[in-house]
Structure 1
Amino acid sequence: MRLATFNILHGRSPVDGRVDVARFAAAVGELDADVLALQEVDRNLPRSAHADLTAVAAEAMGATDHRFVAALDGSPGATWTAATGAEQPDSAGYGVALLSRHPVAAWEVVRLPALPARGPWRWHDQPLPRLVRDEPRVAVAAQVETPAGCVTVANTHLSFLHYWNGRQLRQLVRALRDARRPLALTGDLNMGPRRAERTTGMASLAVHRTFPADRPERQIDHVLADGPLVATASEARRLALSDHLALVADLELV
């Protein structure tokens, strides 16, 4: 099973600042993933031509099952509220998606704790920290029926606030405690491999620098495993969009 995780920057290319749906579809096709975890996914938002990027990706990769889960209802950077799961199917939203060429036997959504107030954060080009409002965070998990057996795959995008994303990750691990093993936990965790392994108790199956895409300095995108999964090959791949590299791992049950 080829598993890929990709923070798609809502399909935008940093080179020209545009969201080209055809370019996005071509990038997804290039990954040739059996299971694809996407973060920063738009649905019906003006900045991405009102496209349903999950549906575009599903068609491009030939996914038979897919699920978009909104973290927020509305438009990032404008008017939004935390999504609850009760939104209309075609409502504007932003969140994560999980897609599979193999049948999915069950889905689970985990809504992660939001920072209750603005928190301090220092951007790299600023001498002093500022108080920032973090977005809601969510995870989606699927029991994927691969030809070799069932694998649970979970996808999330955690806070960029270092003192908060660890709490979110610990809660996600607790929420997945009873999920069927083996478990692959993937996504943009906004932390490095050692901290991700230490927080989850899981093993990293793909260790490659993934951010920023033009000159990767660190790994914040991960494929972690709990149970008998090994990677026979892995890579970080630069595509024609996003400020992240896509992280790809070919997995086998052992």
Structure 2
Amino acid sequence: MRIGTLNIASGRSAIGPVLAPGELRAAVAGLDVDVLAVQEVDADQPRSARTDQAAVLAAGLTAPHWRAAATLVGTPDPFRSWSPAVPALRGPDDAANGPVYGIALFSRLAVREWSVLGLGSGRARLPVKGPDPRTGGLRWWWVPDEPRIAVAARLDAVTVVATHLSFAPPTAVRQLRRLRRWMAALPGPVVLAGDLNLPGSLPARLLGATALVRTPSFPAAEPRLQLDHLLAVGAGLRGHDGAATVLPVGDHRALTVTVLPS
């Protein structure tokens, strides 16, 4: 089974503009994975032409089984024109009640059970560089921490958990510890996949997990940090043929690995 994770940055290309639906579908079409966790996914957002990006990604990946989980309702921006979403799952038969933004988990393999966990947010305001709607130029903004969420898919051989943790390291650590307690009750073995916003070996150490891929993933063009992780939680799994791949979408490299019994 090949598992991966990818932050698509709301479908933005490496040079900034948001990809059209056909371009987004083509951007992931060559990523040969059975299961993929994706972060920063838009649905019905004006900035991404109101595209249901989860549905487009599912078509590109030929992954009929998927669930999206919104973390907020409204458009992420420095002016807090959004509100936290109630933790819930949306699938192929559900329309996006948008505009919303969050994560998604895709599988080509049959999923026995889906589950979701809200991880909350921190109190800190974080510096983020982004466009000024009044001038069009880039500037630094102090933005409130967004709520975070996790989605689990129980397959026949493994449970895969997708998430995207806070930019604030103390909050990300607290969310990771909450995830550890939740994953302990899930059918094992478990693979945690996502942009954890924690560098290097730290997430594996905090979880007592095994890193299935060890390579820098951010920023995509010249990666210096590994913020994206594929971790085996508990015994029974090992990684083979791990890779970090530059795609035409997102500001992180896609991490993929073949997961085998240890």
TM exceeding 0.5: yes
In 2: Cα distance, 1:208 partner to 1:242 partner: 17
Aligned position for 1:96? 103
Fraction of identical pairs, as percent: 39
RMSD after superposition: 2.0
Number of the residue aligned with 1:190 = 197
SS in 1 for 2:181: helix
Distance 1:144 1:214 in 2: 34
- Give me the whole-angstrom Cα distance separating, in 2, the residues matched to 1:246 and 1:107: 23
Residues 196, 65 of structure 1: CA spacing in aligned structure 2 closer, same or farther, 3 A cutoff? same
Q: 1:253 to 1:10 in 2, by over 3 A?
A: same
> Residue deviations 1:91-115, cap 9 Å, x none?
1210010010000001110100311
* Equivalent pair of 1:185/1:224 in contact (CA under 8 Å): yes
Residue number in structure 2 paired with 1:241: 249
CA distance in 2, matches of 1:26, 1:89: 22
Residues 1:62 and 2:62 aligned together: yes
Q: Which residue of 2 aligns with 1:29?
A: 29
Q: CA deviation at 1:53?
A: 0.9
CA 1:65–1:122 in structure 2 vs 1: closer, same or farther (change >3 Å)? closer
1:56 is paired with a residue whose SS is helix
Deviations, residues 21-50 of structure 1 (Å, cap 9, x unaligned) = 222111211111110100000111111111
Contact 2:196-2:229 at 8 Å conserved across structures = yes
Partner of 2:133: none
Measure how far apart 1:171 and its partner are.
Answer: 0.5
State which drifts further: 78-87 or 232-241. 78-87
User: Aligned pair 1:220/2:222, yes or no?
Assistant: no
Verify the 8 A CA contact 1:100 1:144 in the aligned structure 2.
Answer: no
User: d(CA) in 2 for partners of 1:34 and 1:122?
Assistant: 33
Match of 2:237 among 210, 226, 229: 229
Question: Does structure 2 conserve the Cα–Cα contact (< 8 Å) formed by 1:69 and 1:138?
Answer: yes
Q: 1:104-154, CA deviations, whole angstroms, 9 ceiling, x for partnerless residues? A: 001110100311x3346598xxxxx98541111001011023xxxx20000
Alignment partners' CA distance in 1, 2:21 and 2:187: 35
Mark the runs of 5 or more structure 2 residues left unpaired by the alignment: 130-139
Greater Cα offset, 160-169 or 20-29: 20-29
Please state how far the C-alpha of 1:193 moved relative to its aligned partner: 2.7
Q: 1:209 to 1:139 in 2, by over 3 A?
A: same
Q: CA deviation at 1:229?
A: 1.2
Distance (whole Å) between structure 2 residues aligned to residue 191 and residue 5 of structure 1: 15
Alpha-carbon separation, structure 2, partners of 1:171 and 1:90 = 28
Q: Which residue is equivalent to 1:135?
A: 146
1:206–1:234 CA contact under 8 A, matched in 2? yes
Conservation of the 8 A alpha-carbon contact between 2:72 and 2:101:
yes
- TM superposition shift of 1:89: 3.9
The AA in structure 1 aligned to 2:152 is A
2:261 maps to which residue? 253
| Structure 1 residue 2, shift from structure 2 partner | 0.9
Separation in structure 1 between the aligned mates of residue 204 and residue 87 of structure 2, nearest angstrom: 30
Residue 181 of structure 2 corresponds to residue 170 of structure 1: no
CA offset at residue 14 of structure 1? 3.1
Q: What are the within-5 Å matches in structure 2 for residues 99-114 of structure 1?
A: 99-114=106-121
8 A contact 2:126–2:144 mirrored in 1 = no
Q: Normalising by structure 2, what TM-score?
A: 0.88
Q: How far apart are the structure 1 equivalents of 2:126 and 2:259?
A: 39
Alignment partner of 2:167: what SS? coil
Letter of the 1:139 counterpart: A
- Counterpart secondary structure, 2:248: coil
